[in-house]
Amino acid sequence: MMNRQKGKQHPLAGTTMSGAEMIIQVLADEGVDTVFGYSGGAILPTYDAVFRYNEKHRRAEQDPMRLVVPANEQGAGFMAAGYARASGKVGVFLVTSGPGATNTVTPIRDSMADSTPVVAITGQVPTGAMGTDAFQEAPIVNIMGSCAKHVFLVTRPEEVEATIRTAFEIARSGRPGPVVVDVPKNTQNWVGEFKGSGLLEMRGYRQRMDSLRAAKLSERKCRQFFEMLEKSNRPLLYVGGGVINGNASTELREFARAFNIPVVTTLMGLGAMDTTDELSLHMLGMHGTAYANYAVEDCDFLIAVGARFDDRVAGKVDEFAPLAEHIAHIDIDAAEIGKVKVVDWAHVGEAGRSLRQLLNHGREFGFARDFAPWLKHVQKLKRNHPMNYDRDTELVQPHEVVELLNKATRGEAIITTGVGQHQMWAAQYCDFREPRLWLTSGSMGTMGFGLPAAIGAQFACPDKIVIDIDGDGSIRMNLGEMETVTNYNLPVKILLLNNMGDGMVRQWQRLYFNENFSGSDKTLHRKDFVKAAESDGYPFARRVTQRKDLGETLQAFVDFKGPAFLEVMIDNNASVYPMVGPGMGYGQMVTGEWIAGRDLNSRAPEPIDPERSPELF
């Protein structure tokens, strides 16, 4: 063990504490104010330590470390993830051994896939009973090892405080991710001296992190970047969730505006650029806006920042950005460089610092390039290929529901979602003026994410409006957490788009499986969601079946001060478009009946010349 803490000695250094008390004290030292979790035998000593810590430090009848109890441990994991994503802090959840711990495998893997910093503390049977198939024993190190950024098993009680402290360091540093600490019950009950400082020895990891923090773009690399930008006629910023995770949105916006470069974002990158900004083309990818995808088709210099060219974005990799003469890639994870797409220029480092260095270099050397023709082309793409849907039908269209909600919230609410069609409609029709307003399960695509994530976000941001836009399939996955909302009297709002089925699966079955709706039709289900909400104590619980009632009811829903539930019965044949089919390139994008597509031959020529190609302008 090594001491890397600087400054004054901890006021409690030398105090005799139990292992459980040390765990809670380190959480307090790390600034943790909310812990999500479900108790059980193997974690009871630590739960008792939370209780005693709050008894000792309570002021004005408020617990300094709130303990939020979900209906299920999976809910606790997603609440911690929602808290982390909304606040930028490390989320924490605390569960017991065996099924308590295995119930959190999905949120741990989800957090790893979306680079979310959480620390999970799991109880374990006493060390002497490990390996005997003891009651509620599970091999958490083996199970979580494939899912988490790092896993610790604390078999030496004297290392428990340093282990918890190190877990936070790993969760938040570099590319963020989940860390699991498995603590046997006898380690929690052990009594020893609290040191108040110190981390585990992890020399190789810290050397890599120090290198990342110190990573600086050389004069030569900056010059190379601007040489490519100078030669470009149609540059495009392709921005991923790494910009949000790295708190680099300010630098991104300044960079884009300084050089007048349009921006497309991934699903996870929404909010990195204000979606109402003139330079924003919103989301690209499988269900990205048509104009964003057309811009990718037309660009000649693609600048990827905090993005990883995943399959839902790059699609048919060889055909992704087909006219790009150069591709640049900035990412904090060296493993992502060249993993999917070969690039011409790359830098491994923090997104914000990297963009700031490039911006300063460009200003210092007076870089000036007129991209006005390209910007004019991009604006025309937005005018000619806007998002749209059937606006004449009497059936309630989900697109309109989200569009009206967006008008009421003005792009300032925190929006969470489950996974499926409702997720894509929310991504397409909601604005996000700032980062950390859009919380969704991207890489894992975990149904049931939305409601517990909204709960975590509301605890993190009590003054913000938090709305879970969910589907009838997704919300069933963690339906028990509806009661958690009312238990804690949270003003979380649930907008349920009910199409009586697994809509995205049904859409694929319509398109690719001859309308064989195998296992996706929920019309036989008898769940009355409004009655369920009323039984859980929601003071606002309504259903809309008619289009004419949408506007007034949605406004009342948004304005309501407490927990609110609104179910909207939508057209169950409504589909998500645009759509780039599996294994397809953007050139094969289907825009559907209501979004204007373009002739495949009308892509921007090389170079764009408004005199030579007036039809593009």
Q: Which amino acid is at 102?
A: T
Per the annotation, the verdict on 557 as an active-site residue is no
Per the annotation, the verdict on 504 as an active-site residue is yes
Q: Which amino acid is at 351?
A: A
Are 46 and 20 contacting, i.e. CB atoms less than 8 angstroms apart?
A: yes
Task: Find the catalytic residue in 21, 25, 112, 185.
Answer: 185
Per the annotation, the verdict on 615 as an active-site residue is no
Task: Find the catalytic residue in 73, 161, 297, 481.
Answer: 73
Query: Judging by beta carbons within 10 Å of its beta carbon (0-12, 13-18, 19+), is residue 319 exposed, middle or buried?
Result: middle
Please state, in angstroms and rounded to a whole number, the distance separating the CA atoms of residues 459 and 66.
9
Residue among 267, 257, 250, 281 at smallest CA distance from 351: 250
Which runs of consecutive H residues, i.e. helices, occur in 36-138?
Answer: 44-57, 73-87, 99-102, 105-113
Per the annotation, the verdict on 365 as an active-site residue is no
Q: Which residues pair with 531 in a beta bridge?
A: none
Per the annotation, the verdict on 325 as an active-site residue is no
Task: Find the catalytic residue in 273, 387, 447, 504.
Answer: 504
Please state, in angstroms and rounded to a whole number, the distance separating the CA atoms of residues 214 and 538.
51
- For 24, the token pair is 């809670």
Please state, in angstroms and rounded to a whole number, the distance separating the CA atoms of residues 290 and 122.
45
Are 388 and 594 contacting, i.e. CB atoms less than 8 angstroms apart?
A: yes
Task: Find the catalytic residue in 1, 130, 136, 202.
Answer: 136
Task: Find the catalytic residue in 2, 9, 135, 230.
Answer: 135
Please state, in angstroms and rounded to a whole number, the distance separating the CA atoms of residues 46 and 65.
13
Please spell the DSSP secondary structure of 373-423, one letter per residue. Answer: HHHHHHHHHHHHS------S-SSPPHHHHHHHHHHHHTT-SEEEE-SSHHH
| Close Cβ partners of 45 (under 8 Å, ≥ 6 residues apart) | 18, 19, 20, 185, 188, 189
Are 265 and 289 contacting, i.e. CB atoms less than 8 angstroms apart?
A: no
* Active-site residue list: 73, 135-136, 185, 504
